[in-house]
Structures are given as structure tokens and as C-alpha cells.
Amino acid sequence: MSGVILEMKGIDMAFPGVQALDGVDFSLRAGEVHALLGENGAGKSTLIKCLTGVHRMDAGTIFLEGKKILPNSPQEAQHLGISTVYQEINLCPNLTVAENIFIGRQPMRRGQIDWKTINRRSQELMRLMGVDIDVTLPLTTFSIAVQQMASIARAVDINARVLILDEPTSSLDEHEVARLFEVMRDLKARGLGIVFITHFLNQVYQIADRITVLRNGRLVGEYMADEINKLELVTHMIGKDMNVIYDLKKAPQEEGAPVVLEASNLGIPGKVEEISLHVKKGELLGFAGLLGSGRTETAEMLFGVVKPSKGSVSMNGEKLVASSPLDSIRRKMAFCPEDRKRDGIVAELSVRENIGLAVQALRGFMHPMKPQEQQKLADRFIRLLSIQTPDAEKKVGELSGGNQQKVILARWMATQPDLLILDEPTRGIDVGAKAEIQRLMLEMCIGGMGIIFISSELDEIIRCANRIIVMRDLEKAAELDGEDCQQADILAIIANEETEEAMAE
Amino acid sequence: MKRGLKWDTILRSKLFWAVVAEFLILLVGFIIRPDFLNIQIRTLEDGTRVLFGTPIDILNRSSEITIIAMGMTLVIALGGTDISVGALVAVSGAIALKFLRWDVLEYTTPGDYSVMPFVYVLVVPLVVCTLMGLFNGTLVARLKIQPIIATLILMVAGRGIAQIVTDGKQFTTQYAPFKFIGNGSILGIPLPIIITFVVVAAMVVFVRKTSYGMFVEAVGINPNASRVSGIRSAVIIMIAYVLTGLLSGISGLIYSSRIISNDSNNAGLGYEMDAILAVVLGGTSMTGGKFTLVGTVVGSIIIRTITTLVFYFGIVSEAIMAFKALIIAGVIVLQSEPVRRAIARRREKRHINLGGELHA
């Protein structure tokens, strides 16, 4: 392995009330993939933002190839050879792939934009990424994976020596992840240093050479990926024993428990074929399937976010008529949506206001909660869910992902629902928070709540669910008993269609 | 540490800089003419005693915009705009004068009576403007038409309606109760100031004592999340436009009472822009979200102070608008994010240089 290209030493960074980084060291060698791990709030993003000039660190030094640097802005960092690809794709959806790759640095010819070069170069770059597409089509024509490749292509083409990938895989499916890893290996071979931030530990072992773990703004240690096992790694990350996580037990089921939610023949042509399901009191129904298999659409129909064009939903035996979220909330249903930023948090409002939002909506604005009442509600849930925030007045947008998710969970728990739908509640949050949310779900089930739990991670569904519905190609493919279900069974069902197709060919 | 933090937030708030700007403008006025800030009690011909002076005049004359801007704040916090308010001011005045002077078909001497019962003169314009607000709200909330386009309809049509109501004529009146609205005073305080105070107080109470304000902010910040949380955003949006309509009507009554006449062409002309400006100067962002009604009041007073200042120093009338724009540009620069941050940061640095414990 060749020499160190990036070295960060003794980085300190404080935000009002929090020491986000406390003397953190980090080094990156050329030609390696270096995973940066830690729970939410551990300081990963802050460290990256110090490196890319988004934040100005309070103390510490950064050396790039031996030279001291102090970038003031992401542009400056990029100029120095440090490129970042963020989790959310930062491109312009309405421009073509080629335009996106060259925007802001278009080659000119006789005072005009040299489209020929742009398109040719883009095609080459994308081919290097292993993607052969027509780069003159708008970005939105392509899948998220291709869009991600385009943003990497853009980042790499700007003379990058250090490439930072901030949770690049969270919106990709398995094939796409595999392709991304090929690209990463290729870039690595070309001598780039890659910083890889992720929550998926399996992926870390697939691709990373070295691992740096942060916790609470401090460096825990630096390890070679092949010298540390997963259990040790997680223990380092959360600082407590892993057994807590694997000690979860499914909610016991009572014979003849009443049905809370019943849906029959629910569907929207082209989105979800007719689906029927029911959830009993105290039962956790797992929803497995690939992204786009109709899981989220089903949840949205159940809750009335989108109006089903046929079929019916009833809660506690009463039919829901209006098909609106408010109507569902009135019938004691609750829904944590998949896209936390878009459909969940109200970023600029305080933790207190966010927690009280659904209860208040239920009451109507002319019957406001008293300030003390709001305060009490917020404080209770901050304690109950151990939401990490200095106080209830902090803006939700300033909390880490896991804590935001807990705030949304609190919002719904406050309405005391009989049925709670959770769409990917553990996505993009760290191991510790994940385990906590799973524990909370199971506790709520034991308390008598019915839960629909949608997740892409099969192991957590298998760990928690009493019953599992597998979705495939916009319809219910199978319903399994959660007690003796193996990951392989579910995978076989999900993969079924593809094999059939293959056979047909 | 705690106090340092608080100062930091204050220095970064737009409202703070709006207040600073207002004081700076007043200071300029005071330096150039020391009697600029004088307030005295004068006795009118009929024996009533009235507060008199530029500051009172500024407050009095800012009433129309302040009242409208209360509604505009909500509309803007919801991510919209309402550019029909000026036209609604004209409609309100036209209806009021029509009811006062139903008998007049030609320009005549002003009458000191009302043809219709005075209640009609007050209530009907407000009802009509409220309905127009409802129309705006329906287009925006139910039919999802872009606010600027939706309210453009009444901006254009409103003045036409005002013309139709009055047959294209301009009436004047000397009916005392009507004159009292814009020109009277209670305990020496001009009535428009009192009306404004009542409206502002009522709005603040409505918005902050119910959860309406929180819902407005939630919908303005994240409409999707608000909907999923069970907030009926259409109702919230509708209410904001209806209120803005009603408030424009009140403003129209004050305006037409001041000039004891209706003027379909000039009443409320440009009010939409002044109201929007008041909201923005007050610290509410055009992109929606968090809002402050008190800030809007300050914004409205700033606008009026500038106008008064410009008139006061007898700047040639052609240059007034340009001069006004110049000062407003200054205020906006003072409030802009980079400038506020720079000032806050400067302070921080000085803090460190003085050995302050930032990390303590």
C-alpha cells in the first residue's frame, strides 16, 4: 500500500452546547477504501465537513500530500482534489447526464459551449463507471444508481485525489451496490483514496481496507478490516455490549386476539394490485420486498396518503370512508413514512412542536394544547425514547437521523394509536438507534398495539415479525409465519419472478 | 456562555436588524431636523385634544399597510403571496361610498348623511372583501393554482368591480361617523392607530393562543409532513387568504374615510408590494415557514418612516420613489444573511481575542 495522502490531526470542533469533535485524528492512504464508522452524532459528517470546508474547525491541522491545507469552502476543497458525493443526489434532474457532469466547468470553443467534447467525455466517463448510456438524455430518465454514478463521475473527473462517499448505498439495491463497488475498486486501483461512510456493516467488510471508528466526537480507533470482527466493531461503535441488540424477543401472540386493521382488495391499477391483509391486536406484521415492489404504496393506501381506487380499509371493525390521513388518525392509525426528510419532520420547528403535531392536528387548531401540556408531552417522550437533544426547543432539523426518527415515532406514540405503520424506520440510522427502535416496536406490540413494519433488511424483519408478507412486482407474493422463517425462504420468494422470466427466455 | 449565546441569536435575527434600521432612520431624521421626533398635544377647533407629531403621523399612516400585512404574513409563511390586496382596498372603499351616497348620480356637494344604515356601510365592504379572500383561497388551496396567478385575477378584476359598483364615479361624503374612522381620535390617539392595535393584538392572540400559527409554519415548512401528520393544509391556507381579504377590507375603510371619498384607480395602489415588503423587512422569509407578526409591524413602520422622511425633507417628487428604494435597499443589505453572520462572527472573534471562554 502506498503512502498517506491525507492526514487530519487533532481536529476540534464545537457547536453551541456540543463538542462535536474532540482531538480526532484520521489518515487516508492512496489506493485504499477507508470506512468511517460511528453512530449518528458520532462526528462522521462533522469531520467530513471540516475537511471539505463546510465547517471551520476550531483546532487541528489537515495535510494533503504533506502540504498543510485549510479549505474555506467545498469549491476550494474540490479544487485541492477533495471531492464529495453526498447521500442525496446533488444534481439537476432536468439537465442531461452530460450537462450535469460538466456543469460549471463547460469546455468552450470559440466562445461557445463545446457540446461535442462534453458529450464525448461524459460518455467515456460513464463507461469507465461501467455504465453505457445515452448521456444526452435527462438525468431523471435513469435509475438512482445511474444518477449516483453520474455524480461520482463528476466528482472524479475534477482531478480528485480524495473521494468522499457519504452513505452512497442507502438508496441502491443489491445489484447497484455491487456495481458501485466495482467502480470503487477501479478508482482505488487508479490510486485514489476513498473515504466511505455507511451504516451497512456488511458492505464495510466487502469493500473497506481500513476502518476508523468514532464515538461521541472522539476517535475510538483505527483497524484493519480483516483483523476485526463484526461484533467487536459494533461494540466499539456503540460502546456497549452487543447482546442487548440480539436479546430481542418477539411479542407473544394471544389466541383469538381481535383484528385491528383489515384491508380487502385494496389497489390502484399500475401501482399496487389488489391486496388484502389484516393485523391483529399485539401483532407485528413484517413487510418484505424490494424497493418499488409496492410496499410503500400499500402503506400509503392504508393510511389514506394516496386514495386507493378500489377496495376498502377498516379499523377496529369500522370502515374508513374519507381516505385521508386525518381520518385514519381519528380511527387510531399512525404512519411513520419512509422518507423522513420529505414526509416526516418539520425541520424548522422545535422537538416539542414536532412531537405534539399529530395530537394537535387530531384536536384541531382551535383546541390547542396548553404550553405546559406540550412541554410535558415532549419531555416524557424525550425521556422515554432517550432522544438526544439539549432541550425540547431545539430544531428537529439539527438532530441526527436516528433522533429525528425517534421524534417522529414520539409524534405517533403520543396519539396512542391501535395500529402503527412503520415504513423503513431504521433506514439510515446507526446500529444503536436501530436496536432501540426495534425494542420499542416490540414493547408497543406487547402493550397491545398492532404494527406493520416495512423494511429492506430481512434480518430485522425476521427478528421482530410474527407474520411476514412478501411483496413482489406490486402484489402480495406470499404470507409467511414469522416464527420459523429463514432469510433464504424470503429471498427465494422475492427472486422467484426473475427465475421464471429467465426460464421463459 | 449562556449570555453570549443569547446575544448571538439576537445578532443573527432579522427582526433585531429591522429595529436597528428603524432607529437609524429616525436618528437621521433627528439629526437633520431635531423637531422630527417631537410629540405635542394640540387642541382642535372643536375642543378635542389630539397627539400631534411626526412619530404619531408615522404610526397613523402606517395603519393601512400594517393591517393588510398581518394577513400577508400568514400567506407568505404558507409559501404564497396575495397581490390582490390593493384592489380589495379599492373595492371596500367603493362599496362604502356607494352605500353612503346611493342618491347621487352626478358629482355634487358632499352630504353629511348616509343613505343606507351605517351598519351596511361598515359590514358589507368587509363581507365582500372576505368573500374575495375566500375566492383567492379556493383557487390556491383547492384548485392548486399558483398564488401569484390566482390573486392576479382579483388584482386586475377588483378595480373593475370597484368601478362598476360606483358607476365609474367618485363620491365624497361629510358623514361624521364615517369620517371618524380615518380622522377621529380617542383620548388623543388617532383612531387608525387604535384599530391597528386591536387588529394586531387580535391576530397575535389568534395565531399564538390557538395552534393556527404552528400549523401555518408546519405547512409552510413541509406540506407533505404536515399532511401525513393529519393537518388539513387546504383549510389552513384558506383561512390565511380569507383573513387577508377581510383585513384588506378594513384597510379600505380606513383609507376611504381618510380621503372621505372612493377612488377606484388610486385607492390602495401598490399596497400589495408595500405589504409584502413589510413582511419581509420584519424577518419572515418569502420561502415560507417561520413568521413573526410583530416583525411585520416593525417592517410596516419602517416603510412609512422612510416615506415620511422623504416627504419631510421636500425631496423633489420625481426622486421620491428612487430615494425610498435606496433606503430600503440599505435596510435589506443590513438584514442579509452574510452581513448578519459577518457581524456576529466579528463579535465572536473579539470575544476570543479578549480571552473570552468560548468553550467553557
**B284 in A contact zone (CB under 8 Å):** no
Residue B337: other Cβ atoms inside 10 A? 9
Give the pLDDT confidence score for residue A244 in this predicted structure.
53
**B133 in A contact zone (CB under 8 Å):** no
Quickly state the pLDDT bin for B358 (edges 50, 70, 90): very low
Residues A173 and A203 in one domain: yes
Interface-testing mutation among A327, A348, A377, A423, with chain B (most B C-beta atoms within 10 A): A348
Give the pLDDT confidence score for residue A44 in this predicted structure.
86
Q: What is the pLDDT of residues A257-308, one digit of tens each?
A: 899 999 988 888 877 888 899 999 999 999 888 767 788 889 999 999 988 8
Q: Of A416, A442, A475, which residue is a domain's last?
A: A416
Burial class from Cβ neighbours inside 10 Å (0-12, 13-18, 19+) for residue B350 reads: exposed
Q: Does some domain include residue A63?
A: yes
Give the pLDDT confidence score for residue B357 in this predicted structure.
41
Q: Of A186, A217, A245, which residue is a domain's last?
A: A245
Whether the pLDDT of residue A248 is over 90: the answer is: no
Q: Which of B327, B282, B211 is nearest to B69 (CA)?
A: B282
Domain count, chain A: 3
Residue A3 vs residues A20, A128, A158, B93, B334: alpha-carbon distances, Å: 29, 25, 22, 80, 49
Give the pLDDT confidence score for residue B359 in this predicted structure.
41
Question: What is the average per-residue pLDDT within B269-288?
Answer: 90
Question: What is the average per-residue pLDDT within B191-208?
Answer: 96
**What distance in Å separates residue A442's CA from the closest CA in chain B?**
23
CATH number at residue A9: 3.40.50.300
Question: What is the average per-residue pLDDT within A142-158?
Answer: 80
Residues A134 and A233 in one domain: yes
Whether the pLDDT of residue B279 is over 90: the answer is: yes
Query: Which position has the higher pLDDT, B65 or B348?
Result: B65
Quickly state the pLDDT bin for B149 (edges 50, 70, 90): very high
Give the pLDDT confidence score for residue A218 in this predicted structure.
86
Q: Of A245, A268, A284, which residue is a domain's last?
A: A245
Asked if A326's CB is within 8 angstroms of B211's CB, the reply is no
Question: What does the alpha-carbon distance between residue A209 and residue A35 come to, in Å, rounded to a whole number?
Answer: 8
**CB distance A7 to A161 below 8 Å:** no
Angle of helix B63-77 relative to helix B191-209, nearest 10 degrees? 20
Residue entry with cell 391483509: A277
Whether the pLDDT of residue A473 is over 60: the answer is: yes
Any bridge partners for residue B164, and if so which? none
Q: Does some domain include residue A65?
A: yes
Residue A397 is part of which domain span? 343-416
* Angle B75-B81-B84 from CA coordinates, rounded to 5°: 105
**B5 in A contact zone (CB under 8 Å):** yes
* Angle A106-A109-A115 from CA coordinates, rounded to 5°: 55
Residues A411 and A421 in one domain: no
Question: What is the average per-residue pLDDT within B163-190?
Answer: 89
Whether the pLDDT of residue A415 is over 90: the answer is: yes
Q: Which residue of A has its CA nearest to B222?
A: A346
Determine phi and psi for A475, rounding to 5 degrees. Answer: -145, 165
E-state strands within A357-457: 419-423, 450-454
Highest mean pLDDT among A438-442, A479-483, B146-150, B166-170: B146-150
Residues A69 and A16 in one domain: yes
Highest mean pLDDT among A344-348, B96-100, B130-134, B336-340: B130-134
Question: What does the alpha-carbon distance between residue A150 and residue A481 come to, in Å, rounded to a whole number?
Answer: 42
Asked if A348's CB is within 8 angstroms of B232's CB, the reply is no
* Angle A373-A377-A381 from CA coordinates, rounded to 5°: 170
B309 HSE (CA, 13 A, CB side): 26
**B329 in A contact zone (CB under 8 Å):** no
Residues A301 and A366 in one domain: no
Whether the pLDDT of residue A65 is over 50: the answer is: yes
Q: Does some domain include residue A11?
A: yes
Residue B127 neighbours by CB under 8 Å, 6+ apart:
none
Q: What is the pLDDT of residues A451-468, one digit of tens each?
A: 999 987 787 888 889 999
pTM: 0.77
Q: Does some domain include residue A250?
A: no
Give the pLDDT confidence score for residue A284 in this predicted structure.
93
Give the pLDDT confidence score for residue A88 in this predicted structure.
67
Question: What does the alpha-carbon distance between residue A267 and residue A444 come to, in Å, rounded to a whole number?
Answer: 29
Whether the pLDDT of residue B142 is over 90: the answer is: yes
Residue entry with cell 422569509: B285
Give the pLDDT confidence score for residue B232 in this predicted structure.
93
Residues A306 and A350 in one domain: no
Q: Which residue in the set B217, B224, B236 is minimally distant from A349, CB to CB?
A: B217
Asked if B358's CB is within 8 angstroms of A14's CB, the reply is yes
On chain A, the residues whose CB falls within 8 A of the CB of B215 are: 360-361, 365
Give the pLDDT confidence score for residue B168 in this predicted structure.
85
Q: Above pLDDT 70, what percent of chain A?
A: 93
Give the pLDDT confidence score for residue A505 in this predicted structure.
44
Question: What does the alpha-carbon distance between residue B266 and residue B269 come to, in Å, rounded to a whole number?
Answer: 5
Q: Which residue of B has its CA nearest to A336?
A: B228
Question: What is the average per-residue pLDDT within A480-487?
Answer: 81
Give the pLDDT confidence score for residue A250 in this predicted structure.
79
Residue A383 vs residues A377, A410, B55: alpha-carbon distances, Å: 10, 11, 51
**CB distance A296 to A454 below 8 Å:** yes
On chain A, the residues whose CB falls within 8 A of the CB of B341 are: none
Q: What is the pLDDT of residues A187-196, one digit of tens each?
A: 888 888 999 9
Residues A427 and A404 in one domain: no
Residues A374 and A503 in one domain: no
**What distance in Å separates residue B212's CA from the closest CA in chain A?**
5
A59-63, B127-131, B160-164, B333-337: segment of lowest average pLDDT: B333-337
**A303 in B contact zone (CB under 8 Å):** yes
- Which grid cell is A235? 461494540
Query: Which position has the higher pLDDT, B253 or A228?
Result: B253
Residues A234 and A271 in one domain: no
On chain A, the residues whose CB falls within 8 A of the CB of B226 are: 346, 357
Question: What does the alpha-carbon distance between residue A172 and residue A109 come to, in Å, rounded to a whole number?
Answer: 38
Residues A13 and A116 in one domain: yes
Give the pLDDT confidence score for residue A499 in this predicted structure.
47
On chain A, the residues whose CB falls within 8 A of the CB of B211 are: 360, 363, 365, 368-369
Could you tell me the sign of the dihedral formed by the alpha carbons of A26, A31, A37, A40, in that order?
A: positive
DSSP letter string over A274-286? EEEEEEETT-EEE
**What distance in Å separates residue B237's CA from the closest CA in chain A?**
13
Give the pLDDT confidence score for residue B145 in this predicted structure.
94
On chain A, the residues whose CB falls within 8 A of the CB of B289 are: 348
Quickly state the pLDDT bin for B194 (edges 50, 70, 90): very high
The CATH class of the B41-338 domain is mainly alpha
Residues A324 and A421 in one domain: yes
Residues A55 and A125 in one domain: yes
Q: Which residue of A has its CA nearest to B228?
A: A325
**CB distance A421 to A449 below 8 Å:** no
